Each structure stands twice: as C-alpha cells, then as structure tokens.
C-alpha cells in the first residue's frame, strides 16, 4: 500500500473535525449504561445469594468495559478531538478523570510524550510500557534482570500493575514532581475523588464502594493496559533511532489494528484502530471506523485478531538485529553470545 505520510495526512483531514452533538451523545451513551450497570451490580450483591454474587461479578466485566469507554472519551479530550472548544475538552476531561482515577492534565502531558516518541528507541520512558533491547537486558545486573522479568510477568503487567497505576501511582505526579501545575492537577483530582467516594459511601455504604466501584476501576485498568500493550507490543511492531525514525512511519507500522468483534470495539471506544489514531490523534474516536471504511487498505496494516494478540504476551525484548520483539526464551541464544 502507499504509505506516503503527506498523502495520508491530506486524506485523513476531513475526519479531524470535532462533532459537538455527537460528542454529547457519546458521553450519554457511556455514562447512562455505566450508572445502570453500577446500580445493577450493587443490587445483585445486596441479594445476599450466591446467584446474586455470581451475576454481579459477571456484570463487573461490561461495567469495566464502560469505564474503559469513559477513559477513551477523556483520552480524546486530551487530544483536543472530542469537542471543538479547548475549554470544553479540558473541563470534561478533568471531570471524567475523577471517575477514571486519572488526573487529566498530568496524564495528558505524559500521553502527548507517548505520541511524540512512540517507536523511537531514543525516546522511551514517558507514557510507555518499559521495553529493553536484548543488549540492554544483557548488560543489566542480576538484580536488574530479575526486576525486568518481574515487571514483564503477565500477572504483574496486566493485573497488579494496572491496579497500582490507577489506584496509587496516579495519586502523585510521578515524573513531574518538580512542577507545581502537576501537583495542582493531581491533588485537585485526588480531592474530588475523595468527595465522590464519600458521597458513594454515604449513599450506598462501604461495601458498595469496595465491592463495586473499586473493582470496576481496577478491572477497567487491566483491560485498558492490555489494549495499550497489544497496540504497540506485537511481533512486527516498529522501533528505530533517529534519523531513521519518523513519527508517521512509527504510527503506521508501530501501532496495531486490533480487530475485535464490533460490540467490543464499541465498548472500548474503537481504540483498537490504533494505527489510524497515531496517524492523526485529532480524529474523534467515533470516526475511526469511518476511516477504515473510506480507506480499506488500512484494514490490513498491523491487523491483530484476539487469538493472534495472545501470542504477544511473551514478547519482552527488542532484537535490534532482527528488528522485532522477541520473548525471553527466544533471546537465550543471543544472551549467551560473548
């Protein structure tokens, strides 16, 4: 396919305009079902029956999916693509950040760094999943190797890590500790989270907050981190150093198209169409499917099905010679070389 980036920028320009009415409808279509799911889970748990507990636990999954969708709306506000007004984007993003446990202005800056350096080996460390090259891992101390292996353990990466990130790490402006604006954003979000938590606890009780709200946030965080992982950590992803690295080439070849069933695509805000999102982050999430329909040649770029994405789990190291991600097991022969 023709991957001339200037041509793609012009082709995608018609999709960049924000649609305020559609944005409001998308928020209603997310918040409404999320409230209904929350109340249904709380009601099922309150039955005090095993069937009620099981049904409530099952319903946590779509509830968490809706929390992911809420995060995607906040995410688009951060890119300035949800509303035509910057003030509307910022204030809606800040309000949603209270419910996603994500300080909006602080996260927005980290995420902008991710978009600016995605696929750039010289720009790792801001808003990314830590990824070492084979040689970098080889030169680590025994303790360093152990820490990296623990970090890359699937249970840590997709269960403990996301919960820690959204519930605890986001309570401090890690990486921006010297910036007063970052502290103001994070502490302001923390204060609002405490107020909302107090209202929930006063209305529904401690059990509802601990058994409904926190699990929805934690499970939503795991789903979100999994999506972020497979969007960049796949076999044929792209990493390079300057001057060979370019933002546009990294967008097309370093971001996947996670082709999931349509209901799941809707639930996750179509963020699986990630290569298009990285080509132009100003395209609202609800327009991403239209891009694929208008440009079907993009449907074959970095495409991953769910089954194929499971094969990405062991990938942990970038092989600079083969220019691909490999597992610790595949790296053994390379690590044994003098």
Please compute, for residue 256, the number of CA atoms within 13 A of its CA located in the half-sphere on the CB side.
23
The answer to whether the CB of 60 falls within 8 A of the CB of 219 is yes
What is the distance between the alpha carbons of residues 194 and 200, in angstroms, rounded to a whole number? Answer: 10
> Would you state the pLDDT for residue 335?
87
157: tokens are: 């990466």
* H runs (alpha helix) in the chain: 5-12, 20-46, 50-78, 86-100, 104-117, 134-138, 142-151, 154-155, 161-167, 180-204, 206-208, 214-232, 247-253, 262-267, 274-279, 288-294, 306-310, 328-336
Q: How far is CA 209 from CA 41, 205, 273, in A?
A: 11, 7, 33
Beta bridge partners of 304: 258
R_g of the chain, CA atoms, integer Å: 21
What is the distance between the alpha carbons of residues 235 and 224, in angstroms, rounded to a whole number? Answer: 20
- Does 298 map to a domain? yes
What is the distance between the alpha carbons of residues 41 and 55, in angstroms, rounded to a whole number? Answer: 8
- Does 1 map to a domain? no
Spell 230-262 as b/e; 16+ CB within 10 A means b.
bbbbbeebbbbeeeebebbebbbbbbbbbbbee
Torsion sign (Cα): 109, 129, 265, 263:
negative
What is the distance between the alpha carbons of residues 272 and 268, in angstroms, rounded to a whole number? Answer: 8
- Does 3 map to a domain? no
pLDDT tens digit at each of 338 positions of the chain: 444 555 787 889 999 999 999 999 999 999 999 999 999 999 999 999 999 999 999 999 999 999 999 999 999 999 999 999 999 999 999 999 999 999 999 999 999 999 999 889 988 877 789 999 999 999 999 999 999 999 999 999 999 999 999 999 999 999 899 999 999 999 999 999 999 999 999 999 998 899 999 999 999 999 999 999 999 999 889 998 888 888 888 888 899 999 999 999 999 999 999 999 999 999 999 999 999 999 999 998 889 999 999 999 999 999 999 999 999 999 999 988 64
Torsion sign (Cα): 271, 276, 277, 282:
negative
Residue 265 region by backbone torsions, left for phi larger than 0, else alpha for psi between -120 and 50, else beta: alpha
- Does 10 map to a domain? no
- Does 6 map to a domain? no
310: tokens are: 């499971």
Q: Hunting for tokens 């089954």 — which residue is that? A: 307
What is the distance between the alpha carbons of residues 277 and 38, in angstroms, rounded to a whole number? Answer: 30
- Does 212 map to a domain? yes
Domain span holding position 86: 17-336
> Would you state the pLDDT for residue 1?
45
Q: Which helix (H) or strand (E) holds 316?
A: strand 315-319
What is the distance between the alpha carbons of residues 131 and 135, in angstroms, rounded to a whole number? Answer: 12
- Does 12 map to a domain? no
State whether residue 325 is helix, strand or coil: strand
Burial (0-12, 13-18, 19+ Cβ within 10 Å), 122 = exposed
> Would you state the pLDDT for residue 4?
53
What is the distance between the alpha carbons of residues 35 and 56, in angstroms, rounded to a whole number? Answer: 14
Total domain count, the chain: 1
Determine phi and psi for 306, rounding to 5 degrees: -60, -45
- Does 293 map to a domain? yes
């Amino acid at each position: 396919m023709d991957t001339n980036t200037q041509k793609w920028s012009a082709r995608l320009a018609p999709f960049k305009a924000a649609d305020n009415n559609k944005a409001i409808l998308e928020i209603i279509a997310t918040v409404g079902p999320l409230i209904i799911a929350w109340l249904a889970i709380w009601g099922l748990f309150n039955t005090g029956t095993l069937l009620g507990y099981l049904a409530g636990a099952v319903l946590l999954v779509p509830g968490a999916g809706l929390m992911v969708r809420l995060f995607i709306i906040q995410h688009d506000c951060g890119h300035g693509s949800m509303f035509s007004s910057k003030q509307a984007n910022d204030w809606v993003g800040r309000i949603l950040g209270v419910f996603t446990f994500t300080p909006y202005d602080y996260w927005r800056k980290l995420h902008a760094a991710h978009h600016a350096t995605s696929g750039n080996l010289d720009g790792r460390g801001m808003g990314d999943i830590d990824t070492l090259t084979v040689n970098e891992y080889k030169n680590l101390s025994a303790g360093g190797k152990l820490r990296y292996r623990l970090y890359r353990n699937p249970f840590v990466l997709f269960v403990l890590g996301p919960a820690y990130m959204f519930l605890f790490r986001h309570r401090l402006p890690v990486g921006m500790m010297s910036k007063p604006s970052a502290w103001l954003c994070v502490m302001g979000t923390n204060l609002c989270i405490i107020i909302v938590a107090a209202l929930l606890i006063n209305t529904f009780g401690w059990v509802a907050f601990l058994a409904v709200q926190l699990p929805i946030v934690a499970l939503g965080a795991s789903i979100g981190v999994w999506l972020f992982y497979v969007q960049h950590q796949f076999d044929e992803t792209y990493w390079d150093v300057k001057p060979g690295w370019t933002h546009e080439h990294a967008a097309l070849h370093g971001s996947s198209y996670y082709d999931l069933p349509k209901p799941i695509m809707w639930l996750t805000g179509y963020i699986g169409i990630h290569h298009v999102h990285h080509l132009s982050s100003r395209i609202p999430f609800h327009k991403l499917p239209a891009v694929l329909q208008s440009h079907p040649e993009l449907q074959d770029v970095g495409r991953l099905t769910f089954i194929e994405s499971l094969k990405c789990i062991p990938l942990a190291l970038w092989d600079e010679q083969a220019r691909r991600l490999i597992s610790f097991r595949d790296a053994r022969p390379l690590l044994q070389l003098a």
